[in-house]
Structure 1
Amino acid sequence: MALFIMILRKMVNNKWLQLSLLFGLVLSVALTSSMPIYTNAILQRLLIQELKQLQTTNAQYPGIYWLSVNLPAEEKEKSVKIPQTDAFLQKNGDRFGLPMQYFVRERATQRYNLAPAETDKVDINRQRSADITAIDGMDGHLRLVDGRMPAKEAVNGIYEALVIPEALTELGMVLDTVFVIQDDTRKDPVLIKPVGVFDRKDYSDLFWYNIPSSYKNSFVIDFALFEKDFTTGDKLNVQSSYWYFALDYTQMTLLTIGSFISTHFMIDKHLDDRYENHNYNAPALQTLGAYYVKEANLKMMLWSLNVPVVLMLGFYLYMVANLITERQKTEIAVLRSRGASRTQIIMGYVAEGLVLGTIAFLIGPYLGMHLTRVLGASSGFLEFVQRAKLDVSLNREAFLYALAAIACSLVMTLIPVFLATKVTIVGHKQQSARQQKKSFWHTYFIDVILVAVSLYGLYNYKTRIKDLLALGLKSGDLRVDPLLFLIPAFFILGCGLLILRLYPLFMQLVYKAGRRWWSPALYFTLIQVSRSTIQYQFIMVFLIITIATGLFSASATRTINKNTSDKIRYSAGADITMQIRWENDAPPAILTGITGEDGVEITEENTDPAASKRKTQYTEPSFLPFTQLPGIEHAAKVFIKKDATFTRGKTKDTVQLMGIDTQEFGQTAWIRPGLLGHHFYDYLNLIAPSPSAVLISRSMAEEYSLKSGDTITLGWNGIEGNQFTVFGIIDYWPSWNPNPGANDQVTVTTKQGTSTKVKKPMLVVGHLPYIQNNLALEPYEVWLKLKPEASSQAVYKAVADHGYDIESLRDAKQEQIKAIKDPFQMAINGVMTLGFLISIVICFFGFLLYWVLSLHARTLQFGILRAMGISFFQLLAMLLGEQVLISGAAILIGLGTGSMASQWFVPLFEMSFDPKTQVPPFKVTFDPHDQVRLYWIVTVMITSGLVILGHIVSRIRIHQAVKLGED
């Protein structure tokens, strides 16, 4: 206890340094613990959103868990197996981890032929077949349309049943008609009589898994009666049994995903052990199964994004620990000289670290929880929006991360202590009298190694991107490759250190160049800085990393957001593109398959094979209403034929043909400025005067040696070709991807044999009226440009109100909103913003702490200067000169390094996407507003620091400084 009190007293004596160290520890723990908190929060939001989207897209409730078993007629133990499964599911239904809204059991016999017992009521010659069905608990969920509710027991040997309205037509019957179920294996006949017609009470009621029309060949009787007479009594063959859970999916969390999946496997094993044929339908399973991969990828992304901040925190902790150790080196050396072992000294500092670490552990995770909310509200670098708050909560993993952060931080703070314990009192005095010429990282060329590694990574990634684009390969899931974030951080650190290696030489050159003319204050400043660069390197590295990381983060975030937005707008072509149904005389198709729970696909087949070769005639709907829709600025017709045929001489190939009206297309379509050799409008104006003029893609021009003025023939299957004249060559065009896909490969036969090469897509752009008049009139797409304040939903409603049927639709604005909410996009925006803010705070405290301690250490020097006649304002000018040469130089180096890192390494983020689909090409984006915000933050930090330093200098007393000279 006495030892602990002594350690606390020692910490109090250095309270400001200890508080600074505690501040860094708390931020380290908060940042680290925010990673699992954020991962869980964002995945939780994404999970619910995807499940809701699943419900909207498939019109099926995501909380469904439906089971079915088919029982063969020869099955002898069905009366035992089915009740066992009932009990098993009722017992284990709670294991899904979700509130159970309904648990429904349904049974059905096989379908039997029916014969009317009363021949005077119905047509006896009509073929009828039906099954007997029972649904547990349906009484409270149905509405009686006609008749009455059936009896709970057989009445005079007749089973009373409910039917749906469609069953009366399907089976050709009326209520109270008695039917005999024809079963040759039974001696006693089974009689059934419909006494009521029912429908669902509420069409949104989750109790009903099947729609009522699926029971058009069913008699529905009381469930308990069915169980007694059929399931157990074996009066008829029970062919199917169904179990249905309706679970509240909105209560699903990442913790319940494992419970849901494990319960599913347990149920599946139970059914597999007892039944030969069984099926299930659980829409949420596919969504849930992907979340473990997303969770791992997101965690890796967060760690990678936080690398620069982790480096900053590591530097800060090491610097503060080094400052503490420097002030106590004499004490450590004395203890070593008097017999204390290195272990004993280190354990004393370990105890100090544990005290601070305990405090950080109690505060950090809760601070991390609040930092997570900052991540959720960020929509760009240093941009925040009013978004629904993330549902954040502390978990066990967050505290484990906090412990790991404390352990790593403790190691960082003990490194200076470990090095200091190696020195005796004699060695310490010798080191104090000597000037250190090189720092650790310069002695062992750490700067050169970091720059070399980063440049190698840059070369490697550029080569990979080039290969992917050339070969049309897929990039895979490289968005979480840590090297994408480690390499720029290494470059920033290495480049900063490399410049600092040369900076003393530059300072000496400046000093020697003007030493005859420098004023005493400036002379002193140059001498001080050029001879003491080593002691300033920590603070300079701080500022370099902060500024460079800020610029890189701003550029990377802005570039990723802008390129994602541009990719969506380019691939869509316009704000909204849609395909409207055209009336036509195409022959009707018959279905050769069905789509159902068994997964059989629907296919279509023409009734007349010869009819498929006949040219289909289309009726063009009126286009004028589209130009008059509310919120529409411009509208254009765009005809796209992906399998058009290009012919030139004996050469024949497949190209994509696009037909446009030049003026309307130019007003409606979107393309990024600077993407083409000339302005987008110049190409449209080029072909506008000539109806047969076309633009062709560069891939087509290079493949077939085409140039302006050449004539080509275009058509498609069943359409005779017509001649067009090439007027220009383009590299990009709205909605067209010039990059080859994974399947764009052809086999080429040469004298040396056969080989495979990548075939690039080809495009021809011509006039729509000319194509319609000389080739064929076929459906075109409608492209719409919205006014800035227009609502997409209002446009959809207006199109429907005009009677148009939309066959396909793309809304670029809605896709952009969805992209912003992507967890990886949110991670980049949030983490880079948060990381920069933390870096600024850490850098400010490190900057202030370093200079305050430096000034205190130079009190004697300042006192002597004042005694020699240097005025207070001259002293401030000297300090200002030091700041310019140290902090100012570091800021300039950081700006240069950050700009260089952005230009070289931000394009690597193209690997975060699939390069072959990243059209237009990846482009590094700088926003002046980001840089202005960055400069303001740094200016406020430096100014505040100078004001505080000036205040400290103003309080220095000469007589106090002179007294210190006795030391």
Structure 2
Amino acid sequence: MNFAFALRRMRRSWRQLAVLLIGICLVTAFFALPPLYVRAMVQSGIRFTLDSAPAERLTLTLINPQPFAPADWSFITAQLGDLVGGLTRIARSAAAFGGFSYQYGEPTTELTPRSEFSFHAYAFSDIEKHLRVLEGRLPMRLAPPDSPERIALTEEERIDKGIGMYSTGDVEAVIGVEAARQSGYGIGTRFAIGEFPANRVVVHIVGIVEAADPDDLLWQGNRRALEGEVIQVGLTDRQYQLAFIVTEGAYSDWIAKATQTLRSGQNNSYVWLIRLNGQAVTADTLSTMRERLKFVVDKLTADYRGLLSANPLLRDLDRYVDQVARTEPPLILLAGAVLLLMLYHLITTVSLYLQTQAEEWAALSSRGASVGQLVRLQALTMLILCVIGAILGAPLALLLLNALWLIGPLGAAQGGAPIAGIPANAYWLSALAAAAAFIMLSAPALPSARRSLAQFKQLAARPPQLPTWRRYALDLILIVVGLGFIARLLFFVEGDLGQTLSLLLDNPPELIQRIVDGAARTGGLSDPFNLLGAGLLLSGMALLWLRLFPALLALISLFTRRSNGLTAPLSIWNVERDPSHYAQLVLLLIGTLALGTAALGLSHTREIGAWAAARAVTGGAVRVVLDGRDAPDLDAWRALPEVRGAESILRVESAQQAGTVSYTLLGLPLQRFSATFPETAQALMPLQGQDIAVRRTFNRQTRQPAEVSVVPAVISERLAREVGAAQRPDRQPLRIGNEAVIELLLPNNTRWPVHFRVMNVVRSFPSLNESQQFLLMEQAHLGRLIFATPATALVVRPVPNEIWLDLPQGAPSAALQAQIAAQTGYQSALYAWESYTDLLREPLPAAVAGMLYAGFWVSLLLSVLDFTFYLAVTARRRALSFAVLRALGWDANQIWALLAVEQTALIAPALVVGIGLGVLLAYVILPFLTLFGSVALSLPSAGLLGVLLALLAAFAALIGAVAWWLRRMEIHRALRLGEE
């Protein structure tokens, strides 16, 4: 049996094999999807991050104490290519340096009086682009020290050329408006710089300038070039340091030497601001650009001792590379688990195909064909189909990705369009799926090839045998092994399986939170045993349902037999008499529904959790920072469009200073705040009805009795640990009921003691994370504390300085943002929507939900193909039975009713079990996605209804087509088909 014979058989059965080929292509396309999916999400994330990034995040800053060599720029452009967008060079003095009093015609010596100012020198490339001249002109490069123009042999020549002690300007410079005001210098002013007489340089001011673009990145670290600097000298005195700007040539000719100091020698910094082109970074070039960028910095660091670099883009690229490394393997593992279900689809289809070939195979076997020849015949046929599937898998995966981008959760969260092209590993995964399909599709040929014609006729007259999995109790084995892996996971959460099981029963969200917190111990989706346990458990439960399915039908038949009609009993009998055919179809329906339910549940839970997390980061849907001069008009804020509620907050933060602890106090209007922001109600409940307590104490400084106000407060866990360790005798964290005191450093360098009583301890609070030390209290209580200390009231205004707004979930309109910015006292605003969209771009949660969603649609298509194939194979048998019913007087409506009841008995239980297993699958996967805290699973009713309607519509269309075909078939034709 050669290749030509296999092709002839394929031509005869091309319709059936075409259906099988479509199924193979769907399977290979799905398994090739993970790298495409991750690549599309990474591309979307990169574009969102880089397109909205400020200029400093797309700038490579190199600070070198030595001048860069010209070859360095050629090296950088050769390595980074299109990533390089431009270069700005800066030369500047590293520290302030001195000068001399300018005295024309007198030599400069150590006895020459010093300048009244210290100096900072700057030089910029493209100086005309960065400066706007207000008076005078821009500087020009004058003759360098070694120029022949500066050679003079006589006194008269030195006077004529203006060199040496007769210099009227070795260097031309410009100064900023503020520098001119502070120093009193103007156009024509000359001053001498240099720490040593031999290095003296006369600077001539030729212009007054300002920044051409004050927001240019150049000025973020070089504002001093225009303004100079006022420094503290001693306890009371201040000194102004003058800054001036020269050309690059003048800096290298004269200034670099003049800046040298006695103690530090070289006193220059050469800065390269390399603008990077974010468009050059894509998901495909991500790793390459990262490696090249890192190589450039490492090479220059090795060449120049003391070189410093700031490379924000490299941190972003490292983050995305890490996300790909953490996302792609678990996603492929998840796709492999779903692949098993899809391979079962193919096995079901090929089993039906082999049934149509059974008589021919039995005849060939009876005529001398060996088992090996028949198996090779099937293997060769499947090999041809699988090779085609392997080739088409990756391109079809790209089409599937584009379809999911339009209708699935990925496109809604990412926006735009997926990146074009197909990565190489997608072809490898497609080939791997095709190889697995080839093995699974060839294996059923072995038992079929062993049957002779006599055995075939005997099997046709015997009832179907029990499936292999049922004979060996595979369902029970899978459940036990799956429970073992789940128990392993739960043990790692707390180290105590009993305590973890108690949490599972009493507080599932808390268990999810602990699994998230213990991701390092549990392994998450990167641990294959976690996902394997869930897969085995769900597979075992699905098979267990198939074991119970005949019993359920028998129970239903007890009721239908009592019916006077024939429709219901006959429908149940058709399913009950041959459960092996229906069992496989039921299992496929269960798996399909489980995937759809899990995908919808995880996507919906992600959206809810992301919005809750975004509000927690921001503080409400919008947090507006006010200037704190006047009390805000809450009625005006509440009257804004889209605003459902608004509350004022008094935030007091300690001054930032090295070596001091930072504290944050929040004064909240408790009566209204919890109602407007329900997520805070549990944390703030213990403060309700509490008042400030007065304690008598002894002031050691005044040596007089004193009274202190102890305010009831909710504190953070970190503050409880830190203050408890410092003030409790046992060094334990503060507990509810404890009293303690903290000291806030105020902007005037004084300390404000705040005494408090612990009413509750929380991990975090909206706008405050777990790493911060904070206190929450009644707003009126905070005001009383401020007024209780007159010195504090002079520094801290007891006026609300923030407004928190509650909005519906969604993007705030441009009109609302404009009205917020127009409110009295507005300074800035933070929007939860920005954090929300960023959270939805987290690759792992989005990829898992998206792959399950893709798996549902592919599995649904495979189920439709399976049902189509099954109905086509059994059409002759069903045609005879329906023809007999038509001969007995049944009309079309009765045939429709019979099919409806029969399929309802088949599909309805599968719907219930499939949805239940989908919920269980989502619960199992939910903790590993490290979503956003203890978020309970939420199922969208509309989405779930849509999945059910899609499934029911697909199968209703098939059943309707079969009923229409059977109804139109003539009785005598059906009887002839039955006799064949």
* TM-score normalized by the length of structure 1: 0.74
Match of 1:96 among 80, 100, 111: 80
Residues in 2 aligned to 1:641 and 1:180: alpha-carbon distance in whole angstroms: 48
**8 A contact 1:634–1:785 mirrored in 2:** yes
How much identity, in percent, do the aligned residues show?
18
Match of 1:630 among 606, 616, 640: 640
User: How far has the Cα of 1:17 moved from its partner?
Assistant: 1.3
Aligned to 1:665: 673
Listed as ranges, the gaps of 5+ residues in structure 1 are 72-77, 584-619, 644-654, 704-709, 745-760
User: How far has the Cα of 1:930 moved from its partner?
Assistant: 2.6
Match of 1:853 among 864, 873, 881: 873
Aligned to 2:172: 161
Aligned to 1:606: none
Alignment length (residue pairs): 857
Amino acid at match of 1:66: T
Residues in 2 aligned to 1:208 and 1:183: alpha-carbon distance in whole angstroms: 27
Cα-to-partner distance string for 1:83-114 (whole Å, 9 max, x where unaligned)? 3xx31431342322434322344556787643
Q: Secondary structure at the match of 2:936?
A: coil
Please state if 1:495 is matched with 2:541: yes
**Residues 695 and 423 of structure 1, relative CA distance in 2, 3 Å threshold:** farther
Residues in 2 aligned to 1:255 and 1:790: alpha-carbon distance in whole angstroms: 31
Amino acid at match of 1:277: G
Match of 2:300 among 238, 251, 271: 271
Please state if 1:837 is matched with 2:857: yes
Alignment of 1:120-131 (within 5 A): 125-128=114-117, 130=119
User: How far has the Cα of 1:850 moved from its partner?
Assistant: 1.0
**8 A contact 2:187–2:206 mirrored in 1:** yes
Please state if 1:114 is matched with 2:99: yes
User: How far has the Cα of 1:64 moved from its partner?
Assistant: 1.4
Residues in 2 aligned to 1:344 and 1:722: alpha-carbon distance in whole angstroms: 88
Cα-to-partner distance string for 1:478-528 (whole Å, 9 max, x where unaligned)? 664567766555444432321221222343455567758666665554444
User: How far has the Cα of 1:209 moved from its partner?
Assistant: 8.2
Q: Secondary structure at the match of 1:46?
A: helix
Match of 2:553 among 502, 507, 511: 507
User: How far has the Cα of 1:860 moved from its partner?
Assistant: 5.1
Residues in 2 aligned to 1:964 and 1:909: alpha-carbon distance in whole angstroms: 51
User: How far has the Cα of 1:847 moved from its partner?
Assistant: 1.6
Please state if 1:892 is matched with 2:908: yes
Amino acid at match of 2:543: L
Aligned to 2:953: 940
**8 A contact 2:408–2:850 mirrored in 1:** yes
Amino acid at match of 1:396: A
**8 A contact 2:741–2:754 mirrored in 1:** yes
Moved more, 793-802 or 355-364: 793-802
Aligned to 1:401: 429
Alignment of 1:40-51 (within 5 A): 40-51=39-50
**Residues 684 and 51 of structure 1, relative CA distance in 2, 3 Å threshold:** same
Amino acid at match of 2:909: I
Aligned to 1:420: 448
User: How far has the Cα of 1:293 moved from its partner?
Assistant: 1.7
Aligned to 2:518: 475
Residues in 1 aligned to 2:628 and 2:124: alpha-carbon distance in whole angstroms: 45
Residues in 1 aligned to 2:757 and 2:91: alpha-carbon distance in whole angstroms: 68
**8 A contact 1:671–1:733 mirrored in 2:** no
Q: Secondary structure at the match of 1:126?
A: coil
Q: Secondary structure at the match of 1:66?
A: strand
Residues in 2 aligned to 1:425 and 1:472: alpha-carbon distance in whole angstroms: 59
Please state if 1:949 is matched with 2:962: yes
Residues in 1 aligned to 2:611 and 2:372: alpha-carbon distance in whole angstroms: 58
User: How far has the Cα of 1:23 moved from its partner?
Assistant: 1.4
**Residues 723 and 386 of structure 1, relative CA distance in 2, 3 Å threshold:** closer
**Residues 527 and 776 of structure 1, relative CA distance in 2, 3 Å threshold:** same
**Residues 164 and 12 of structure 1, relative CA distance in 2, 3 Å threshold:** farther
Residues in 1 aligned to 2:187 and 2:649: alpha-carbon distance in whole angstroms: 58
Aligned to 2:233: none
Aligned to 1:65: 60
**8 A contact 2:98–2:117 mirrored in 1:** yes
Moved more, 34-43 or 192-201: 192-201
Amino acid at match of 1:474: D
Amino acid at match of 2:583: Q
Please state if 1:444 is matched with 2:472: yes
Aligned to 2:272: 243
**8 A contact 1:722–1:774 mirrored in 2:** no
Alignment of 1:561-580 (within 5 A): 561-569=607-615, 574-578=620-624, 580=626
**Residues 103 and 349 of structure 1, relative CA distance in 2, 3 Å threshold:** farther
Match of 1:815 among 829, 835, 841: 835
**8 A contact 1:546–1:840 mirrored in 2:** yes
**Residues 904 and 573 of structure 1, relative CA distance in 2, 3 Å threshold:** farther
Q: Secondary structure at the match of 1:61?
A: helix
Residues in 1 aligned to 2:14 and 2:306: alpha-carbon distance in whole angstroms: 74
Aligned to 1:758: none
User: How far has the Cα of 1:46 moved from its partner?
Assistant: 0.8
Q: Secondary structure at the match of 2:56?
A: coil
Residues in 2 aligned to 1:733 and 1:239: alpha-carbon distance in whole angstroms: 46
User: How far has the Cα of 1:859 moved from its partner?
Assistant: 4.6
Please state if 1:370 is matched with 2:399: yes
Residues in 2 aligned to 1:790 and 1:532: alpha-carbon distance in whole angstroms: 55
Match of 2:591 among 545, 558, 565: 545
Residues in 2 aligned to 1:642 and 1:451: alpha-carbon distance in whole angstroms: 55
Residues in 2 aligned to 1:446 and 1:365: alpha-carbon distance in whole angstroms: 34
**8 A contact 2:124–2:247 mirrored in 1:** yes
Q: Secondary structure at the match of 1:497?
A: helix
**Residues 776 and 429 of structure 1, relative CA distance in 2, 3 Å threshold:** farther
Q: Secondary structure at the match of 1:277?
A: coil
Q: Secondary structure at the match of 1:388?
A: coil
Amino acid at match of 1:548: A
**Residues 223 and 384 of structure 1, relative CA distance in 2, 3 Å threshold:** closer
User: How far has the Cα of 1:334 moved from its partner?
Assistant: 4.4
**8 A contact 2:553–2:576 mirrored in 1:** yes
Residues in 2 aligned to 1:669 and 1:415: alpha-carbon distance in whole angstroms: 61
Q: Secondary structure at the match of 2:935?
A: coil
**8 A contact 2:225–2:245 mirrored in 1:** no
| Cα-Cα RMSD | 5.2
Cα-to-partner distance string for 1:664-721 (whole Å, 9 max, x where unaligned)? 335522349xx979xx9xx899959999999999x9xxx9xxxxxx999898766787
Amino acid at match of 2:18: L
Cα-to-partner distance string for 1:610-652 (whole Å, 9 max, x where unaligned)? xxxxxxxxxx745557646633454334568999xxxxxxxxx
Q: Secondary structure at the match of 2:421?
A: coil
**Residues 219 and 204 of structure 1, relative CA distance in 2, 3 Å threshold:** closer
User: How far has the Cα of 1:396 moved from its partner?
Assistant: 2.5
Please state if 1:873 is matched with 2:858: no
Amino acid at match of 1:550: G
Q: Secondary structure at the match of 1:290?
A: helix
**8 A contact 1:543–1:891 mirrored in 2:** yes
Match of 1:911 among 927, 940, 945: 927
Moved more, 463-472 or 535-544: 463-472
Moved more, 270-279 or 314-323: 270-279
Q: Secondary structure at the match of 1:67?
A: strand
Match of 1:147 among 137, 148, 153: 137
Cα-to-partner distance string for 1:439-463 (whole Å, 9 max, x where unaligned)? 1221222222333344445555556
Amino acid at match of 1:435: P
Q: Secondary structure at the match of 1:163?
A: strand
User: How far has the Cα of 1:48 moved from its partner?
Assistant: 2.7
Match of 2:804 among 752, 761, 784: 784
Aligned to 1:10: 9
Q: Secondary structure at the match of 2:307?
A: strand
Residues in 2 aligned to 1:384 and 1:87: alpha-carbon distance in whole angstroms: 48
Aligned to 2:749: none
Amino acid at match of 1:370: L
User: How far has the Cα of 1:956 moved from its partner?
Assistant: 3.7
Alignment of 1:770-809 (within 5 A): 772-773=783-784, 782-786=802-806, 791=812, 801=822, 804=825
User: How far has the Cα of 1:949 moved from its partner?
Assistant: 0.9
User: How far has the Cα of 1:69 moved from its partner?
Assistant: 2.3
Listed as ranges, the gaps of 5+ residues in structure 2 are 151-162, 164-169, 229-241, 501-509, 655-662, 695-710, 718-723, 725-735, 744-751, 789-797
